[in-house]
């Protein structure tokens, strides 16, 4: 169908919640996608850190076909084998003992907040329910998670916001120490802020948070929705810091694009949920968890976290070389593994457009950061090509 007409209908019939690029993507394979005019792109957005195994991965396609033809959905009143196997596998490969499945990142965080509050009330005073989160963080768009998202631009017009949220600057342990009081239930943090600008904290930050939480009996919730599933070069980003959370949330890459969310917790914390305290219709259904099982098994068997570390080094090295040659046009390259942010002098929107014109799709983050989150199966030639295109795009956008 004609792209111009599609865009006209989009303007007329969709709620205008996103600024969209003038492109309709219709097909994908591995690291590449094609638009409705047949133009090919390298996809370094990964559907915002979702398609870890790339597009149309044969194992994912196979599981989807088989599961859809066998049993797509049943309710959580029944045992669901795929859900049980995926939960077992996630627990075997993480700090966690138990999992609750939902449909998105926001829902996974919503669940984490509810679980932490319920646990805190059972292990303290009845008014213990405050969540401390970090400025510049991002946790979702539901009312509770958008409130946990300590960026006022996402709050405007949605007041009154739910009570019980406190904000402190990111990467500042003293501020957390001062903010914790007898009403605090949990500290909620991304190990690396993704949407906020690929902000990497100091090495001592997560261990410091863990220590503060242990000393005060407060829960540590890590939002690994963007950083988890191998993206940063370890299966979970918390492994870089050598400490584990009490609750971790996942979504995005867990089923490579089939909507899913997961809230993982220790036995002790998970015990706050009993039958009837929380629920979901779709969460953990055979299709989503069946695909999740295939994705997670593939990730582990093919050691894709290690690959992400290797490919991430190549990407960051290439971009740092570009920074050196850029005469100040590239201000900083940061990140871990295949989650990389590049601070630019030129307006990031112009560089994104220039990349797209040249056949590379990239993301933005924070105020003026170009963000890259390619599939973990990305190969060396694609990385080198992406760096080359970014170099040209930065050149195109010189004032
Ligand atoms: C760290 C983090 N948490 C939560 C979310 C919300 O996830 P979803 O859009 O699936 O609700 C996102 C989405 O970008 C995210 O990056």
- Of all protein residues, whose CA lies closest to atom 8 belonging to ligand 1? 105
* pLDDT tens per residue across all 399 residues of the chain: 788 999 999 999 999 988 899 999 999 999 999 999 999 999 999 999 999 999 999 999 999 999 999 999 999 999 999 999 999 999 999 999 999 999 999 999 999 999 999 999 999 888 999 999 999 999 999 999 999 999 999 999 999 999 999 999 999 999 999 999 999 999 999 999 999 999 999 999 999 999 999 999 999 999 999 999 999 999 999 999 999 999 999 999 999 999 999 999 999 999 999 999 999 999 999 999 999 999 999 999 999 999 999 999 999 999 999 999 999 999 999 999 999 999 999 999 999 999 999 999 999 999 999 999 999 999 999 999 999 999 999 999 987
Measure the CA–CA gap between 291 and 47, rounded to whole angstroms. Answer: 17
Verify whether residue 252 is a known catalytic residue. yes
- Exactly one of 223, 234, 246, 273 is catalytic; which is it? 223
Q: Which residues line ligand 1 (CB under 6 A)?
A: 48, 104-106, 109, 138-140, 190, 194-195, 223, 225-226, 251
pTM over 0.85: yes
pLDDT for residue 342? 98
CB atoms near residue 141 (< 10 Å) = 14
* Cis peptide preceding 160, ω within 30 of 0: yes
pLDDT for residue 182? 96
User: Where do we find the tokens 């998970």?
Assistant: 270
Verify whether residue 223 is a known catalytic residue. yes
Query: In this structure, is the dihedral angle defined by the CA atoms of residues 359, 364, 368 and 372, taken in order, positive or negative?
Result: negative
- 256, 51 in Cβ contact below 8 A? yes
Contacting residues for 60 by C-beta, under 8 A, at least 6 apart: 53, 256, 257, 291, 294, 295
List the alpha helices (DSSP H) in 96-142: 105-122
pLDDT for residue 124? 83
Q: What phi-psi label fits residue 335: left (phi over 0), alpha (psi between -120 and 50 degrees) or beta?
A: left
pLDDT for residue 276? 95
Token pair belonging to 389: 């295109």
């Amino acid at each position: 169908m004609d792209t111009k007409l599609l865009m006209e209908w989009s303007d007329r019939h969709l709620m205008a919640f996103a600024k969209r690029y003038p492109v309709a993507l219709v097909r994908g394979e591995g690291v590449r996608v094609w638009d409705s005019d047949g133009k090919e792109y390298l996809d370094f957005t990964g559907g915002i850190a979702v398609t870890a195994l790339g597009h149309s991965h044969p194992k994912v396609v196979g599981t989807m076909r088989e599961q859809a033809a066998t049993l797509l959905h049943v309710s959580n009143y029944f045992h669901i084998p795929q859900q049980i196997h995926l939960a077992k596998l996630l627990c075997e490969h993480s700090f966690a003992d138990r999992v609750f499945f939902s449909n998105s990142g926001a829902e996974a965080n919503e669940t984490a907040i509810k679980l932490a509050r319920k646990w805190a009330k059972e292990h303290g005073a009845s008014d213990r329910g405050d969540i401390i989160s970090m400025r510049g963080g991002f946790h979702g768009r539901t009312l509770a998670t958008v409130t946990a998202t300590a960026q006022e631009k996402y709050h405007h017009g949605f007041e009154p916001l739910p009570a019980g949220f406190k904000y402190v600057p990111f990467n500042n342990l003293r501020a957390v120490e001062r903010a914790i009081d007898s009403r605090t239930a949990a500290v909620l943090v991304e190990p690396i802020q993704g949407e906020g600008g690929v902000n990497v904290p100091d090495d001592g930050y997560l261990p410091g948070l863990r220590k503060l939480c242990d000393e005060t009996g407060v829960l540590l919730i890590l939002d690994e929705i963007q950083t988890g599933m191998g993206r940063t070069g370890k299966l979970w980003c918390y492994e870089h810091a050598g400490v584990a959370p009490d609750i971790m949330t996942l979504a995005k890459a867990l089923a490579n694009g089939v909507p899913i969310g997961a809230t993982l917790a220790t036995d002790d914390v998970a015990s706050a949920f009993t039958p009837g305290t929380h629920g979901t219709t779709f969460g953990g259904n055979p299709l989503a968890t069946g695909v999740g099982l295939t994705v997670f098994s593939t990730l582990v068997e093919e050691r894709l976290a290690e690959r992400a570390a290797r490919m991430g080094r190549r990407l960051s090295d290439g971009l740092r070389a570009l920074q050196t040659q850029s005469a100040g046009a590239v201000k900083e390259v940061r990140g871990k593994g295949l989650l990389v942010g590049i601070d630019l002098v030129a307006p990031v929107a112009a560089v994104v457009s220039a990349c797209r014109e040249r056949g590379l799709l990239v993301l933005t983050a924070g105020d003026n950061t170009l963000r890259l989150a390619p599939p973990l199966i990305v190969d060396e030639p694609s990385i080198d090509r992406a760096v080359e295109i970014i170099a040209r795009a930065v050149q195109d956008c010189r004032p």
